[in-house]
Amino acid sequence: MRFIQHLSRIFRKELEDVKVLYLGATGPGWMHSKKPIRIVEDIKGLKIRVTGGGILGIKAVGGDPIAMTMGEVYLAGKKGIIDANIGPPEILEGWKHHEVFKYSTFVPHFYSEFQYIVMNWAKWNRLPKDL
Per residue in 10-41, pLDDT tens? 677 777 889 989 888 888 889 999 999 999 99
Contacts of 21 (CB under 8 A, 6+ apart): 117, 118, 119
Whether this model's pTM surpasses 0.85: no
Residue 2, classed as helix, strand or coil, is helix
The better pLDDT of the pair 13, 97 is held by: 97
The mean pLDDT value for 32-51 works out to 96
pLDDT recorded at residue 109 = 80
Contact 18, 116 (CB under 8 A): no
Q: How far apart are CA 7 and CA 59, in angstroms?
A: 29
* Domains of the chain: residue spans and CATH: 27-112 (3.40.190.10)
Q: Which residues contact 3 (CB under 8 A, 6 or more apart)?
A: 23
Confidence of residue 115 (pLDDT cuts 50, 70, 90): confident
What is the mean pLDDT of the segment spanning 110-123?
A: 85
